[in-house]
């Protein structure tokens, strides 16, 4: 009996990319490559990339599709697991650019800036300062992925 023949041959773009959060599956496509922000810096991943597990920073993930299209996602921490043919992003939260509520992100940015200004003047605890900086970074990332500026 002859062996089964795979009919969906892929010479490029045979990297499956999954972006998962505790609440939902955000993205599941075969792609050409993905650029991520790890704690060590920016990393571009292709099919057959060496197995890698890395913590992710808050940042933009840029996905290049098989057809040359690009999708931007706001990734808010988590981990990446690259195992040769599958890239799994386990994110604390993740949003695709066109799904971002820009007005909500702007309000979060304003709150974070006000909190940072208040923390700086009160010399509050380091934890408050870290929370405010993270909130600011998340809001800026959302706006960047949504194609907006932080006025």
Between the CA of residue 104 and those of 36, 45, 65, 137, what are the distances in Å?
Answer: 24, 31, 29, 14
* Domain termination site, one of 66, 82, 98: 98
Q: Are residues 19 and 72 in the same domain?
A: yes
Tens digit of pLDDT at every position of the chain (151 positions): 333 333 343 445 689 999 999 999 999 999 999 999 999 999 999 888 889 999 999 999 999 998 889 999 999 999 999 997 899 999 999 999 888 888 888 888 888 887 777 655 555 566 677 777 888 888 888 888 888 776 6
Q: Are residues 58 and 38 in the same domain?
A: yes
Residue 150 within a domain = no
Q: Are residues 39 and 19 in the same domain?
A: yes
Q: For the CA atoms of 113, 118, 123, 125, what is the dihedral angle to 10 degrees?
A: -70
pTM over 0.95: no
Can you give the residue range of the structural domain that contains 129?
101-145
């Amino acid at each position: 009996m002859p062996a089964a023949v795979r009919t969906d041959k892929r010479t490029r773009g045979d990297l499956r990319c999954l972006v998962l959060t505790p609440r939902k599956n955000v993205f599941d496509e075969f792609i050409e490559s993905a650029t991520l922000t790890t704690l060590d810096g920016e990393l571009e991943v292709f099919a057959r990339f060496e197995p890698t597990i890395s913590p992710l920073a808050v940042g933009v993930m840029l996905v290049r599709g098989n057809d040359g299209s690009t999708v931007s996602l706001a990734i808010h921490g988590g981990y990446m697991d690259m195992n040769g043919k599958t890239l799994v992003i386990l994110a604390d939260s993740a949003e695709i650019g066109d799904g971002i509520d820009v007005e909500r992100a702007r309000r979060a940015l304003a709150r974070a800036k006000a909190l940072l200004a208040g923390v700086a003047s009160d010399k509050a605890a380091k934890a408050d300062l870290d929370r405010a900086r993270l909130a600011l970074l998340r809001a800026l990332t959302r706006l960047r992925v949504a194609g907006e500026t932080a006025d």
